[in-house]
Amino acid sequence: MRIDLARMQRRLAALTTPELGGTPAGGMSRLALSDADRAARDLLVGWLREAGLAVRVDDFGNIYGRRAGADPDAAPVLVGSHLDTVPGGGRFDGILGVVAALEVVSALDDAGAMTRRPIEVVDWTNEEGARFTPAMLASGGLTGVFARDWVYARPDRDGRRFGAELARIGYRGDEAARPRAIAATVELHIEQGPVLEAGGEAVGVVEGIVGIGWHRVTVRGQSAHAGPTPMAARRDAMVAAARMVVAARDLARERGDLNATVGSLTPEPGVINVIPPTVRFSLDLRARDDAVHDAALTELARASPRSPPRRGWRWRSPRSGASRRRRSTPPSGTARRRSAASEVTAPAGSGAAPATIRSTWRASPPPPCSSSRRSAA
């Protein structure tokens, strides 16, 4: 049995056109539940039906295309990935996994092969989490990690809610469409990082899956006018935030077993001639070992912005129930999420007057699901 590479390439090309979010540089910008996402979904559903698959959409917008197996009572094997992307993402990230899943069932049909278990091609909704946080939102809802009402209420930057946008694009399906049981899941995935290319390697073996910690940091100083306020008297939240961002980058470089990224930073009030009294920024920490992640947070808490008076941060012990993390796992394991909250105090500004920083490493926790539905995703 052989795959049809030309068929896969045609489908990949069709899913990455400018109308569906393709960029001039060859990348993709297709946020979940956008008009481009709807168009990509419509295209996929058409292909699934052309392949003779039974198509259904669940209440989280996840799309399934079922190929029957010899044993109709056997739990299916789910194969697929996601069609949504981050802004400026790769043209294969997630998309390749969906196209490959469809090619699997197409190749089986070409060979006249029958599997014992049903196979379901799946497209997970908002898997990236670039528009509605957190990532893996719909797959997490399916597996009981997140309650449906909480998922529906997740807002994007413009205040639009997940549930309303799901209905707007016509992909708010039925709870009855959820898989009743799943035998296994298979996903072909590519992150398109530079490591293999730099090493001259064509393929790599996954040795582990990183845990992801998404944190929100709030830096508080004192508002003042840029003109009459002497540098030595300032309590500048932006300066403190900038030093914290650099400290996170330097720590990750020094350790070598951690990635640290600040992708969003918002000063308030955001006026050119006002010293910001408040700055909020995101911190994305990723490590294969949860102990590395936890140690990095401790090391960041001990760091000190280099402004007089030189004083370290005051760290209060984490309290369960506030921040969201995806735990690191070996390839055969499952990912979990954990909570923690902390507060620190640090010097800020270019002068001697310190500012107070309350750093809450958190994302809004979902309401608990019933124990009968809770599982790892």
Burial of 261 (0-12, 13-18, 19+ CB in 10 A): middle
Predicted local distance difference test score (pLDDT) of residue 191: 66
Q: Which of 98, 138, 91, 99 is nearest to 122 (CA)?
A: 98
Between 105-109, 200-204, 280-284, the lowest mean confidence (pLDDT) is in 200-204
Work out the mean pLDDT of the chain and round it to a whole number.
Answer: 83
Instruction: Supply the DSSP symbol for 147.
Output: -
Q: Which of 55, 215, 60 is nearest to 145 (CA)?
A: 60
CB atoms under 10 Å from CB of 228, counted, come to: 7
**Strands 77-81, 184-186: pairing kind:** parallel
Which of the four CATH numbers 2.60.320.10, 3.40.630.10, 3.40.50.10470, 3.30.1310.10 does domain 5-199 have? 3.40.630.10
| Rounded to 5°, angle at Cα 57 from 51 and 62 | 100
| Domain(s) of CATH 3.30.70.360: residues in the chain | 211-358
Predicted local distance difference test score (pLDDT) of residue 361: 33
Q: Is residue 349 over pLDDT 90?
A: no
348 versus 52: the higher-pLDDT residue is 52
Predicted local distance difference test score (pLDDT) of residue 9: 97
Radius of gyration of the chain (CA): 23
C-alpha span between 265 and 280 (Å, rounded): 6
Instruction: Supply the DSSP symbol for 155.
Output: B
Q: What is the mean pLDDT of the segment spanning 9-33?
A: 97
C-alpha span between 150 and 161 (Å, rounded): 10
Q: What is the mean pLDDT of the segment spanning 12-31?
A: 96
Length of the chain equals: 377
Between 11-20, 250-259, 265-274, 364-373, the lowest mean confidence (pLDDT) is in 364-373
C-alpha span between 331 and 79 (Å, rounded): 16
Predicted local distance difference test score (pLDDT) of residue 298: 85
Residue 160 CB contacts under 8 Å (≥ 6 apart), including other chains: none
Structure tokens at 109: 């049909």
311 versus 82: the higher-pLDDT residue is 82
Predicted local distance difference test score (pLDDT) of residue 50: 98
Predicted local distance difference test score (pLDDT) of residue 299: 86
CB atoms under 10 Å from CB of 279, counted, come to: 26
- List pLDDT tens digits, range 202-222: 888 888 888 888 888 888 899
Predicted local distance difference test score (pLDDT) of residue 303: 66
**Strands 259-261, 63-67: pairing kind:** unpaired
| Domain(s) of CATH 3.40.630.10: residues in the chain | 5-199
CATH of domain 211-358: 3.30.70.360
Predicted local distance difference test score (pLDDT) of residue 353: 33
250 versus 366: the higher-pLDDT residue is 250
Q: Are 101 and 191 in contact (CB under 8 A)?
A: no
